[in-house]
Each structure stands twice: as C-alpha cells, then as structure tokens.
Homo-oligomer: A and B are copies of this chain.
Amino acid sequence: MNLIVLFGGSSYEHEISIVSAVTLKDKIKKHNLTFVFVDRDRDFYLIEKENMKSKYFSTFEYKKAKKLNLVKNGFEAKKLFGSEKISGVVLNLIHGRDGEDGKIAGMMQFFCIKCITPNLEASVVSYNKLYTKMYAKELGVKVVDYKYITDDSYTPDKFPVIIKPVRLGSSIGVTIAKNIDEYKYGLDVAFEFDNGVLIEEFIEGVNEYNLAGCYANEFIFSKVEKVKKDKFLSYEDKYLDFSRKEAKTEEVSSELEEKLKDNFRKIYNTTFEGSLIRCDFFEINGEVYLNEINPIPGSMANYLFSDFDEVIEKLANSLKYEKKIDIDYSYINKIQMAKGK
C-alpha cells in the first residue's frame, strides 16, 4: 500500500502537524510512505522522505520541493511533458483548521480519493465542541454541564471554570479562571480565536482517560491511557506531547475499561467510520463523561497500539468510496416529452 501522509495546513496547529508527521515517519514500517505537505498558503508539495525534518519546513527549504495539484483520484505533479500521478490511500494528519474542520475530508471525497480521516460530517461534530456536546447527549453519552456563549453578558456563579473557544484544538485559547477577573481576561482571550465559547465547571483532581480506536469490520481499541495530570496541559506541553512515542499507560480495572469502550462505541457509531480517533474521558464518581473527541490525534496516537502498522492496514482496507448516484436525466426527459419537444 502507498500511504500518502498529508500534513501542514492553514492552521494554528500547522507546526504541530509537521512534528506529528516527522514522528510518524519511523512508526509505519510495512507500508510505502509518501509525504504531501500543505503549506501556509495551501499549496501542495511532495516531500522526499530524507527531508522529513522540522527544520526543512521552518527554513522554507520545502519551497524547492515539487509542487502538486489536487486532481481526480490523487495528486499530480506537472512535468515538462505531461504530468506524473500520485495515488494511494491518504492519511489526513492536518491538525486543527483544514484537517479537522472537514475541508480535507470533503475534498478527498469530492475527488474520489480514499482517506483515513473523519468524514466531513464527523469532522464538524468533533471540531466544534458545542456540537460534540449535543451529539454525545443525543447518543446517551454523559458530558460535563456547560454554558454556550457568544458574548460577554454571562457570568458564572461558581469558580473555577474552564473557558474554551468552541472550534480550536490543542488547548489554544483555553483558560482556567479561578475568579471573576481571570474569567473576564479568559473570555477576551477565547473571543480572540472564536465567536463561540463554552464555559464549564472546572473539576479539580478528576481522573482522565484516553482511549483510541477505529472500526474496520470490528472495533480495534488501543490501550487505555490514564492521563498524568499534575497540572493543566498548556499549548506548549501539548505541543511537545505530539512528538511522544510511548504511552503513559497504567493498569485500569476491566470494569472501567469496558465502560470506556462502551462509550467509545456509541460516539464512534457509524459517524466516525474511516477514521482513527481518540476519545478523552473523565471519570467522576464512577461515571464516565466524554471530555473531547480528538478526531486526528497527534501522530495518530500510534504509541497506544501494539501493532500500529496492522491497524492502519485494516483501516485502509475498510475504506469505501461514496455511493455512486445514477443520474440518467429521466425527470428532464419526462418534462421534455410532456412539452412535446
């Protein structure tokens, strides 16, 4: 299989995506890897494997690489005479905007390219934290209570609270406010990034568990990771986290593990078919709550799986093209006939 790793993007997490792709390079051994970079101007570049180092991008050396066009069934490099086609299964590794908001998924579907990614609809559900809440509630998965605001007219009556822009990942624009002053400042920060903000009670000392997985004829689950949470992870912490290669796993009870998997299955449903996601859960008084869906986890959470190559292979083989719609102009023909034309 030729696996086309698509990374970069016009996103606050552009640099994180580069780190994620560089990390993944050594983690996929069985498949042929092709790297396609989406630069900040959204131009596509074919990156040679030996150039997959973060410095190659930060110094703009990548501009010397071969430029690609997105075309039906794959990417195309213009040559002096004709063009060269790159085809295979795409792995969408663009974190944040472009990758997680559904643009890439929609484009891959439109251009009939198989792609490991949450599809367009699933992307919107996971990218917008308000929709994640609505979606989870609809499926009977518990979420922490929240208030959705679009201006600064609301003030919570209890602190601490956590303030989150609805559409960003990697803790960007997120603040924990212990009092009204911190709250006001946090709102300013959040509204810098988004026009919608979620306010949640911040529950200290809560246990947090991550579980990754996908569906490929059957559910494939990762190990459960108990998040070590000495403190709230800032953007920088999470950034370094994206290059992580090993899981910080800890034994969890089989009862809890089953509960986490149950909730994962409900969330994954059929909506997330074709993707490998990580669900981040809270455990509060023995009950499991969904915190976030991570639709494209850093370096695909490879460190949580014992045989990552196999997971990717099974998932890739389970991908389907969109259903073909027959268009035979029967309605227009009927009208033409009725008109006697």
Contact = CB atoms under 8 A, between A and B. Distances in A.
A171 interface: no
Contacts of A109: 103
Chain A: interface residue count, which band?
35 or more
11 contacts: A12-B325, A43-B72, A54-B336, A58-B329, A58-B332, A97-B322, A97-B325, A106-B107, A120-B120, A130-B138, A195-B270
B332 A10 contact: no
B11 A325 contact: yes
A280 interface: no
Contacts of A127: 121
Interface string A71-101: 1100000000000000000000000011001
Nearest to A41: B72
A191 B258 CA distance: 31
A256 interface: no
A180 interface: no
Contact of A332 (B40, B55, B336): B55
Interface string A100-122: 01110011011110000000110
Contacts of A97: 322, 325
A327 B42 CA distance: 12
Interface string A232-259: 0000100100000000000000000000
A297 to B, nearest CB: 18
Given A57-B332, A341-B55, A103 B98 contact: no
Interface in A1-58: 10-12, 14-16, 18-19, 40, 42-43, 54-55, 57-58
A337 to B, nearest CB: 11
A185 interface: no
B106 A42 contact: no
Contacts of A65: none
Interface in A118-148: 120-121, 124-125, 127-128, 130-131, 134-135, 138, 148
Contacts of A195: 270
Contact of A128 (B10, B14, B121): B121
A15 B332 contact: yes
Contacts of A134: 131, 134-135, 138
Given A54-B332, A58-B333, A103-B120, 20 more contacts: A11-B325, A12-B325, A14-B327, A18-B332, A42-B110, A42-B111, A54-B335, A57-B329, A97-B322, A101-B106, A101-B121, A102-B102, A106-B120, A107-B107, A121-B127, A134-B135, A134-B138, A138-B148, A236-B331, A239-B331
